[in-house]
Each structure stands twice: as C-alpha cells, then as structure tokens.
Structure 1
Amino acid sequence: MSPSSMTIRPIKCNLRWKRLLFLLCLGISTIFFWMTWSTKTTTVLQPCRPFHAMCQAFLPATDNQTEWRRRDCQIKSYITKDTLQCSKLMRDLHFITRPLSAEEEAYPLAFILTVHKELEVLVRLLRAIYTPQNVYCIHVDEKSPPEYKASVQNVVSCFENVFLSSRSETVIYGGFSRLKADLNCMRDLVTSKVSWRKVVNLSGQEFPLMSSLELVRHLQDKIWQELNMTPGIKQPDYIRWRTQFQHNETHVDFVKSKVKKAPPPHNMQIYFGTAYYALTRDFVDFVLESPQARDLLEWSRDTYSPDEHYWVTLNHLPEAPGSNVAGGWEGNIRAIKWKDQSGWAHDGCNGRYVRSICVYGLKDLPWLIKKGSMFANKFENDFEPEALDCLEQWHRNKLLSSASVPIEPSWLLATREKP
C-alpha cells in the first residue's frame, strides 16, 4: 500500500461522518420546527360540557346504552382566528346550509341583530335562526372592543346573506342611539337582493323558542298576515315623563332635564310598548319615507327610550301600511321575566336579574318552553351556560324534526353516544 492511499482513506471517512451528522441535525431541526409550528397553529380540542341532568326532560329519550353528547364546544376558537376557512366553519359549527322546507323558502325574513357583547351567545343565536333564504343585518355597537368587532366581522365574511350595518352607532341604554341602530339596518335591508316579507329585530343575548317553520307560520297566519306586530298600549300616565321632558344623551348615560317638550307632531297619540317588533316591508318603507315617521323621529330624539314608543305609535296610524290600530299586547313576541312582574306574570327568576330583566337559568326552561313566544330574552355565556346548552339542543331537535329535506350530519348539535 502506497503512502498516498493511506492518507486519503481517513479524509473520506471524515467527510462521510460529517455528511451523516449534517443530515441528522437537519432532520432533528425539521421535526422540532414542525412540532413548534403545529403547537402554535392547531387548536387544542377541549371536551364539550355535558348536558345537565335537568336537560333530559326536554330532549328525546335515550336507551340505557346511550346518552346525548354535545358535538359543539369550539365556537370561540373558530371565530377569533385571524383567518377562517368558511366551509369548515359552516360545517363544524353546524349551520343550516339550505332551506328546510318550501314553505320557509317562499317566505324569506329579514333580521336585525343589535349587539355589543356575549360573542358566543351571538353566534349561537345566529346559527339558530340562520337559513340561506333569509337576510341578516348585524349592528355592532361602536364602543365595542376591537377584538369583538373583528370576531363578528370574521363570522359575517363567511355568509353572502349576513352583513354588518353600513353605519354604526355608539349605543346608550335608553337613548336615541338605540333607535338609530335599527333604522340604520332598515336602510341597508331595503336595498338587499333578498325579497324579504317581514323584519324581526333582536338583541345579541336572545334565543328563539319557535323553529323557523313555526315562526314563518306565526307571522303569516290569518291574524298577522298583513299586520305589523308592535305590542303596546296608549301611553299610561306613570310613563309620560319619558316623552314630556327633554333628555340629554351623553357618551355614557341619558339624563332627564326639567325642560318640557312640545306636543307630538301631527297631533299623534303616543303609545308605549316593547322595543321588539315584526314589521312588513311596506311599513318599513313608510318608516323611512313618510313625513309623519320622519317628524316623529325628530321629535323623539330627546325622549327617553324612544324605541319603546316609536314603532308602536306609528303602527297605530290608520294610514300606515299593515297598521294595527286596535292592537294591544298580543303577538307573543318575547318571553321576558321583568322583576316587577314576578308572582303574577311569571313564577320568578331562577337565574339573576340584570336591569330588572331575568338572565335565565336551568329552572326557567319549563316556563320558557311552555310560554311558546317567538324569542326569549336573555342569556349570558358565563352564567348558567347549561341553560342555553339545553334550550339550544331542544330547539335544534324541533327545527330538524319539521324539516322536509334530508338532514345533513353536520346539522346535528348533539348525537346519541355510549357513555
């Protein structure tokens, strides 16, 4: 063996080991990078909150081998992402993707949702009332946190028939801004390509008690087919201070002054009622275009809680389309437990009162379901969330049981599974 061959062999050996070491390091680095990226981008699935035992009374019975298991507990993780896969959101959050009956498809509705908090409750409400033939305008309070606004925009971007109001108000409780929020959405809705028949307004903390088919039938039955629903009566004496004195709206409050207002325009009789309604499209056009409506709106600017007299007063004008001149509190639009009505209008709040309105708990569900109103107000995600879990599944079961189309597996919020 020559001296030259003896010197070359160790060099080849060293190069081979260096190459292997480089490849090993590269492989380890690749695995480490993938694990780090995966941890940052993959949502950690948490087990769903089980149904409360009290909920079994409102769900179809199961045999001894199975029980109802929730499939959906990832709402917040979906809608707070910077980017969304809309098809995945529709599927994984169990939105209804086509009309459930020809009857519903032939009677499209418009919805106005005025929201400022309770992101998850809002998405669950939208999911409960969503069908492709309807149209939905969401007004987000201008003072809502940026992250809340971004999340709502995330959801809206996935639907052609859901949009944000083109103008946002800073809404003050009891103020004119609350009325303007609805009007802003109405102006947007009349330009929609959807030929909606009636518009229903909601807050972001409500939930339906009627299925979409029941709602359509209720709004077009022989009593209400051509009429607006604006529950209310002639303004009682004890409430007249709201419209007799000027009120000043600030950024945080609405304050009564000692300055008396002029009489209502056009010698109108002022009525008092709820802020909730179901209005025909012709009536909405009347609200946006007629001199009576515009003058009443301007007069109402410095009244207290004008949304509780504006709609019902206009609906008692004989010349208003779909007016209900003889109407009172009928319509069964909302199930609300007011604190001062405990003991005679309802059995008391089993949750807690916020601004004299009951935030529902589980023990309120029998009363809500028996009452059979269009919607129930109100719920909170961090207070007895099991109540909304139960009501939501009860509602979805009812919704799908009345469908005349095949049920898609993704529409199921819960399934029967072995414990």
Structure 2
Amino acid sequence: MSRLRATKPGLLVCAAVCVSALLYFGKPAWEGPGAEAPSPAVVECGFYPDELCSALFEGKGAASQVAKFCRNPPGSEILAHLHAPGNCSRLSRGLRFIARPLSAEEGNFSLAYVVTVREELATFVQLLRAIYVPQNVYCIHIDERAPKKYKAAVQTLASCFENIFIASKTEEGAHPGFVRLQADLSCMGDLVRSKFQWNYVINLCGQDFPIKTNKEIIHYIRSKWNGKNITPGVIQPAKAKSTTSPSQPESTPGGGAHASPNEGFQEEPPHNLTIYFGSAYYVLTRAFVQFVLTDTRAKDMLQWSRALQSPECHYWVTLNRLEDAPGATPNAGWEGSVRATKRRGKEGDAHNGCTGCANQDSGVYGPADLPRLVRSPSLFASKFESSTEPLVLACLERWQRRRALQQAEVPLEPHWHFPRRTHFRVH
C-alpha cells in the first residue's frame, strides 16, 4: 500500500502525536510478550485504529489532532484489487462486497441506484460497496470527461456483478446541469428495460455516501413515504430571483436557492406547468419513473429545461407536484431527509433543502464532522474525498458496515467485516 510521505520535521511531529494518541486511546497493536516498541524516529503514522474512529465519532478533541497526521488513505489498497489479475470471486471478496441479502425483508424490497461518476475512483468504490446488496440493481453513468483508466477500472468492477451495469448511453456537452439530468434519464431507461424488478430508484454522485444502512433506508421509505416519491422543494414568493437568470442563484436564509413561480423564464413553461425548485436528489417509485419516460408533459418539460441554469433542480420536483403523477406529493415542501450537505460558512446548519444545486457552496466533510453526520436524519451525505480527507470516509464506512452487520438476520461471512488496523506501520 502506498504511503503519504512527510518531510523529516513533519514525520517527527506525526510520531510524537501518534505516541500521545496511544496513551489516550489504549495499548499499541505491536505490544506483546517480548515485543519491542519501534523507535519513534522510524515510525510513520499508519492507518486509523478503531479506537481513533470511535473517539472521532464522540467528538474528542485529541482524536481530531491525531487525525491531521494519520491520513494514509485506503485508495491504493482498493486500486490494487481492481488492477490485480484474478477472477471475480477474488475481486468481490477482496473488496468486501456483501454477497447475500441480510434479511428476508430486504430481499423482498429491491432498490435501484443511478450513480454518476467522473473522478475519485477509490471514493466511488467505497460508496458502491456500502450500498451494494445482491437484490438491488445499479446503473453507473461514467462522465465522458473521465480518464480512460478510470473508465476501464469501473468497467472491470461492473463486469463482475450481474446487477451492476454501465449506462448504455453516456452524456456529454457544455451544459453540466442538463447533462446530469439526461444521465439520470438514460439510466432510468436502462433500469426499466432490465430484467430486474425494483421498487424505488435513488440517484447518487460518486462522492456521496450512505449514513443509513440498506435496511434503514427501506424502513424510512416504507414508514413515511410508502408509495410516494421524495423530491424536496418549494415555490418561492415572486420577489425571489429566478435561477434561470444568467446570474448565480440567490441564497435564502434557509440555505436553499429557489425560483419564483413562472417568472424570469426565457420561454413560458409547457402545458402551463408551475415550476418548482428543489433538490437534485430524489427517491422515486418505479411507476413514477415509467411516467417520466413516457408522459408528454415530462418530455416537453425536458426540452424546455435546456434553457435553465439548473434544470435538475426543477425537473423532478415539478413533475412530482402534478396531481395525476404516480406517487405524487402535490402539497409537499422540503420534507424528505434525502441528503445532508456541508455548506461553507453554515457548517452547523441542519437544513436539508436545496442539496445538490449550488455545488460551489458545498464543502468536503472532515473528521470533525463525524459526530453530526452519524446523528443526521438524512439517508446520504455529500461530499467526500478520499484524496484529501481519507480518514473521515474510512471511519464512516466502518461505522456503516458494522451497523449493517449488526442488523443482519443471516450468518455472516468473515470477509464482510473490515479488519482491525494497527496504530503504527514500521518502516
């Protein structure tokens, strides 16, 4: 596994901080009968111990200081499995994918996922194995701008699973918002035509991560939204600035950016539709997906949306407010805890509104955010980067996997567990 190299002064600081951490968190993994402690001069901070992750979840300040230095990411280990020769069984086991439904309830309620990716390959693999169960189905849309090696690695992974496939049509163009909308629709078409039966579809980006288990996601859908779509969004009073103007969206005190009802558009909306503004993320019933792919109003709105600045933040929420749409919620507002985001300057804001719309305001989660993340009511959070903040995602992944296995009602395979890591790595 590759290591993050440090300058000599940085190495000494790292060693000192990690030695202090051992006194705080417990005995080092190398301690034992007849064992000698490695000299601090030849020790580099290794991967995280479980104790460090636990302390981070509890918000202990000392752990956050250690986390600044102990940052070896799991990326090289993940990439090694993707590029190493071997069969698919070895790949699946090596990457610790769960190979059986963890309960009868989950086995009888299948979810479909649309995942759009372009970069952060290790982060995407961590996301995929966190949401993967064999009864679900996954459509992966790879951005045309992604490097060839990235595309090849994702294709290699997908080819090992019957229920993971690459979108049959990839999108490209100069209008990122509309490309994203088209990518979701392309995957939806593939999912409807596939042999897999599924109940709901959820869209994700490659830098999202679940903060609920598969069972908890199903319980949330069934308990509060059974048969209904989740598309958080509202109509803002007419005095608000429309996001269809050339300028940037106007943020409201609630943390979202909203459009005024049918004002500021270059062309009148088709079929006299009232345009809503909301989250680009959704949880949709299969019947609603089929409606979107075939209904004349949905098709006409798609063409009309080409002129919008953020069409993905208008399209789903507007169609879901139509009273005759399957699973519609005509009177809904911001209800639906789909996605948690970290807003720059609003780190403590728990608002779950317009997530995925104003990306320029979205920050990357760090170790100090873990206590709030694990207590969030949201199903997913965005965004994470293994390249810059590997520890937070690694700890969150272990926490989420441990919860999933604790909820399991079937015998567990040994390779489903993530192994404990040592405090130090000796040169």
Alignment TM class, shorter chain as reference: 0.7 to 0.9
1:387 aligns with 2:392: yes
Unmatched 5+ residue regions in structure 1?
1-46, 61-69, 248-258, 347-352
TM-score (norm 1): 0.77
The one-letter amino acid paired with 2:231 is: T
| 8 Å contact from structure 2 (residues 50, 420) kept in 1 | no
The alpha-carbon deviation at position 171 of structure 1 amounts to 5.8
Give me the whole-angstrom Cα distance separating, in 2, the residues matched to 1:140 and 1:313.
Answer: 26
Structure 1 pair 285/48, CA: closer, same or farther in 2 (3 Å)?
farther
Give me the whole-angstrom Cα distance separating, in 2, the residues matched to 1:343 and 1:129.
Answer: 27
Q: Which structure has the larger Rg over C-alpha atoms?
A: 1
Give me the whole-angstrom Cα distance separating, in 1, the residues matched to 2:369 and 2:245.
Answer: 37
Give me the whole-angstrom Cα distance separating, in 2, the residues matched to 1:416 and 1:174.
Answer: 40
Question: What is the 5 A alignment of 1:18-417?
Answer: 49-51=47-49, 54-57=52-55, 74-81=77-84, 83-170=85-172, 174-221=176-223, 223-237=224-238, 240-243=241-244, 261-339=266-344, 341-342=346-347, 344-345=349-350, 355-415=360-420
Task: Report Cα offsets for 1:20-75 as digits up to 9, x if no partner.
Answer: xxxxxxxxxxxxxxxxxxxxxxxxxxx97223754123789xxxxxxxxx997611
Q: Which has the higher strand share?
A: 1
TM-score (norm 2): 0.75
Give the aligned length. Answer: 346
The alpha-carbon deviation at position 237 of structure 1 amounts to 4.3
Structure 1 pair 294/418, CA: closer, same or farther in 2 (3 Å)?
closer
Larger RCO: 1 or 2 (CA < 8 Å, sep 6+): 2
Structure 1 pair 106/117, CA: closer, same or farther in 2 (3 Å)?
same
| 8 Å contact from structure 1 (residues 283, 322) kept in 2 | yes
The alpha-carbon deviation at position 192 of structure 1 amounts to 1.4
The one-letter amino acid paired with 1:381 is: S
Structure 1 pair 415/342, CA: closer, same or farther in 2 (3 Å)?
closer
Q: State the match for 1:33 in structure 2.
A: none
Structure 1 pair 104/48, CA: closer, same or farther in 2 (3 Å)?
farther
Structure 1 pair 48/236, CA: closer, same or farther in 2 (3 Å)?
farther
The one-letter amino acid paired with 1:186 is: M
Secondary structure of the 2:194 match is coil
The one-letter amino acid paired with 2:333 is: G
Task: Report Cα offsets for 1:60-93 as digits up to 9, x if no partner.
Answer: 9xxxxxxxxx997611112134x54211011111
Give me the whole-angstrom Cα distance separating, in 2, the residues matched to 1:174 and 1:240.
Answer: 21
| 8 Å contact from structure 1 (residues 112, 139) kept in 2 | yes
Give me the whole-angstrom Cα distance separating, in 2, the residues matched to 1:189 and 1:232.
Answer: 25
The alpha-carbon deviation at position 178 of structure 1 amounts to 1.1
Over the aligned positions, Cα root-mean-square deviation in angstroms equals 2.8
Structure 1 pair 194/373, CA: closer, same or farther in 2 (3 Å)?
same
Give me the whole-angstrom Cα distance separating, in 2, the residues matched to 1:260 and 1:416.
Answer: 56
Give me the whole-angstrom Cα distance separating, in 2, the residues matched to 1:343 and 1:417.
Answer: 33
Structure 1 pair 173/101, CA: closer, same or farther in 2 (3 Å)?
farther
Structure 1 pair 290/340, CA: closer, same or farther in 2 (3 Å)?
farther
The alpha-carbon deviation at position 302 of structure 1 amounts to 1.5
Unmatched 5+ residue regions in structure 2?
1-44, 59-71, 249-263, 352-357
Give me the whole-angstrom Cα distance separating, in 2, the residues matched to 1:296 and 1:411.
Answer: 44
Structure 1 pair 344/168, CA: closer, same or farther in 2 (3 Å)?
closer
Give me the whole-angstrom Cα distance separating, in 1, the residues matched to 2:179 and 2:281.
Answer: 15
